[in-house]
Structure 1
Amino acid sequence: MMRITLLLHFGLLLSFCQAQTGGDEAAEEEHVELFTTPTAKMGAATSDFGYNLFRALASRDASTNVFLSPLSVSAALTQLSMGTSESAERQLHRALRYHTLQDPQLHNTLKDLLASVRTAGKGLSAAARIYLAKRLRLKQDFFSLVEQQYGVRPKQLMGGARDMKDINDWVSQETGGKVQRLLAKPLPRNSGVNTVSAAYFKGKWATRFSQSGALENFQVDGGMPVRVPMMQQDNYPVKMGADSDLSCTIAQIQMQDDVSMFIFLPDDVSANTTLLEESLTAEFVQDLSMTLLPAQVSLTLPVLSFSYSTDVMPLLGELGLSDWLNNQELEKISPQPARLGSINHKVVMETVPEGNQYASTASPPSHLAYRVDRPFLFLIRDETSGALLFIGRVVNPKDLRI
């Protein structure tokens, strides 16, 4: 019924090109041409890494909620790449999608991008750091290089339970106390090198919601509906379209300070989202931002409030790093053999009904509804740079906890 309403409202069905994420060199050249400034190219590269990482994590179990802040993972792995041999660095940079940039000032560009997305109004705080085992003899040049470039110094661990407390305290401090207990257990004993990354996002809408917190049904695949808090507002300004190939409707909702949320809502509660997940690229989302059509809708969204933790390390093989895992060549970190043991990542996100402006009351309530009451995908994007800040799959919001 929603699809029919959309077709009648817009008078056409938007068709989107689905960019592939494989090794097609011609496609990659076109990708570079689409983003013309160094910052935009870096935003696209970190986003494509994020989409690849999300696909690898989401494919583990299609029935679970999944969330990531890929830019913070990129920052941690980029710091790590500064301690590798040239050949190992090339492998890491390819997985991070940096080989598409042709940017001799890569680290400066990433540093500028990280600074731009952390401005106060965007609601994002993030942390990324390398931790090194006490047993390693370390090269101080690596410490100085990373600190000079990214403003955070890698830290040698002392050993024992206090390391976990030290890491958790640092992450909490960097995220304003919002990301707590990044580590729930000590780091692996046999690892020499570990990275941690974390992000907190509190999204504020450009247009506020008049109703929030009412419990409503959210459809769950294969089960009874669950009751979750919802936000609702009539005549809410969005950009919207439908993709017949992906069998979903798409809404772009403006947030404060040039940030927006894209929501991909499958037509059916039981829809397989694999094709949709495989279609996500920086180019695809950039096309969406230019082709979705303005509309005023009766908008209903779940109130999102969650934390999510994972170790990204097991996913590296799916990102093309199987050979690198066998020969990491962390020679600029230590003269001793050293190996990466874990890539711990945690995200916390909240949305609130507040906003800067009120929805229009000059016209009657819209007959077009966008009701997010079944499993969906969403992403948070910085519109200035195009960088992917958050991405998630919500299967059952009842399971979300901070």
Structure 2
Amino acid sequence: MKSLTFLLVFVPLLSVCRSQSETGVDEELGDEEHVELFTTATTKLAAATSDFGYNLYRALASQDASSNVLLAPLSVSTVLTQLSMGASETAERQLYRALRYHTLQDPQLHNTLRDLLTSTGTTGKGLSTAARVYLSRRLRVKPEFLRLVEQQFGTAPKQLMGGAKDLKDINDWVSQGTGGKVQRFLTKPFPRNTGVNTVSAAHFKGKWENGFSQSNSLESFQIDGGTTVRVPMMHQDNYPVKMGVDSDLSCTIAQIQMQDSVSIFVFLPNDVSANLTTLEESLTAEFVQDLSMTLLPAEVSLMLPVLSFSSTNELQPLLADLGLSDWLTSPGLEKITAQPVKLGTVNHKVVMEMVAEGNRYASSTSPPSHLALRVDKPFLFLVRDESSGALLLVGRMVNPKNLRI
């Protein structure tokens, strides 16, 4: 695990929390005892899907350092897991390694994933997902594959009919699965002669544990290059957060609580022109779990952009970056069909609505906090289910101007 150094500064209070390895304490006490952070089948699986999500995020983010990025990894994990149920043993092992399942040794993995999806999909958490495998109509599909996937995940893979009817059918199904929030998932039909295609979508609209008294006021957001844009911001004095400064990563990290054991982590670099790659490379399930136990409570004057936007991506080319180059060439989907077949597209769309809604913030007679957290320059963020540790969303906000759903 990466050693952490957190420095939380109040005026006049100074609080420092360092890991033993950095203060030299282990030299006196011997090797630090390893602490198992994930102790149940569900939390171990949640960590695996999170690490898959961080790897996929890095692959996507590396394509264009100047773009906003948003992913809902759990929905992608789900649809690739469905696909693995149709794979040979060799192909399944390849997929499991990319999905980070290979370390779990969970004989009930599919049941554990189903339970995780159920727990993260409860109404209060604000997340809804849709994941499905679509098969070419030319394929002679084995009924057992369809039956197993439907039995496990409640939705059977579907064979395509071709043309505009498929487009409407897929868009309607995604819309229904996300409460009408993800519209126009596809704008054109799947390419002809693609054997297997996957669809994964998600909508997130969480509510704050403590709402904001001020919202949508236009404030300046710094853009790399010395320019600024005016964007809607949420603001609240004396807002409770957990916070720290990581000197190695040169950033402030804040954890802001949402309802139903969901929280958002914000990673705010010290410098507007900072390269976010170092921050992105640090993200792992273990690192974030350690953060949740290490960040310190504080009350701050908080200013946060309104994040309401959508992101659509074709993820199939990124799978090679996750170690699936050979699998893409020879996917071994013999339990789906005896015919040779390859993966055509991995379509993914996320809609996020992060607005001021939440419990009414209790009025305070205290003077405004002297500690301020202004999220007014490019930053990373992630939304996490604290009860399981599952990564719900991960993203990068470079320019919040003109965001659209």
TM over 0.5: yes
Q: Partners of 2:330 and 2:174 in 1: how far apart? A: 29
Q: Mean alpha-carbon deviation: is it higher for 340-349 or for 214-223?
A: 214-223
CA offsets 1:131-158 (integer angstroms, 9 cap, x no match): 0001111101000000000000100000
Query: 129, 133, 136: which one pairs with 2:132?
Result: 129
TM-superposed CA distance for 1:223, in Å, is: 4.7
Instruction: For residue 263 of structure 1, report the CA deviation from its aligned partner.
Output: 0.2
Judging changes above 3 Å, is the alpha-carbon distance between structure 1 residues 152 and 184 closer, same or farther for their aligned structure 2 residues?
same
Moved over 6 A (4+): none
Shift of 1:342: 0.5
Written as runs of structure 1 = structure 2, the 5 A alignment for 1:208-357 is 208-357=211-360
Q: How many residues align?
A: 389
Task: Give, as a single letter, the amino acid of the residue that structure 2 aligns with 1:100.
Answer: T
One-letter amino acid matched to 1:348: V
* Aligned residue number for residue 65 of structure 1: 68
Higher helix share: 1
Map Cα deviations across residues 326-358 of structure 1 (whole Å, 9 max, x no partner): 110010111111111000000001012122241
Percent identity, aligned pairs only?
Answer: 73
Please name the residue that 1:51 is paired with.
54
For 1:43 and 1:35, the matched residues in 2 are separated by 9
Structure 1 residues 340-379: aligned runs within 5 Å: 340-359=343-362, 361-379=364-382
Shift of 1:279: 0.4
Distance 1:82 1:16, change over 3 A: farther
The correspondence of residues 53-202 of structure 1 with structure 2, limited to 5 A, is 53-202=56-205
Native 8 Å contact 1:235 1:360 kept in 2: no
RMSD of aligned alpha carbons: 1.9
Contact 1:13–1:242 (8 Å) recurs in 2: no
Structure 1: unaligned runs, 5 residues or longer: 19-29
Deviation at 1:34, TM superposition (A): 2.5
- Residue 47 of structure 1 aligns with an amino acid whose one-letter code is S
**Whole-angstrom distance in 1 between the partners of 2:126 and 2:177:** 14
Tell me how far 1:16 sits from its aligned partner: 7.1
Query: Structure 1 residues 109, 128: CA separation in 2 closer, same or farther (over 3 Å shift)?
Result: same
Kept after mapping to 1: 8 A contact 2:126/2:205 = yes
- Conservation of the 8 A alpha-carbon contact between 1:41 and 1:101: yes
TM-score (norm 1): 0.94
Does 2:209 match 1:206? yes
1:142-200 per-residue CA deviation (whole Å, 9 max, x = no partner) reads: 00000000000100000112111111110001001100011122212131000000000
SS at match of 1:355: coil
Q: Give me the whole-angstrom Cα distance separating, in 2, the residues matched to 1:297 and 1:369.
A: 5
Unaligned runs of 5+ in 2: 1-5, 22-32
Is the Cα–Cα contact under 8 Å of residues 11 and 370 in structure 2 kept in the other structure? Answer: no
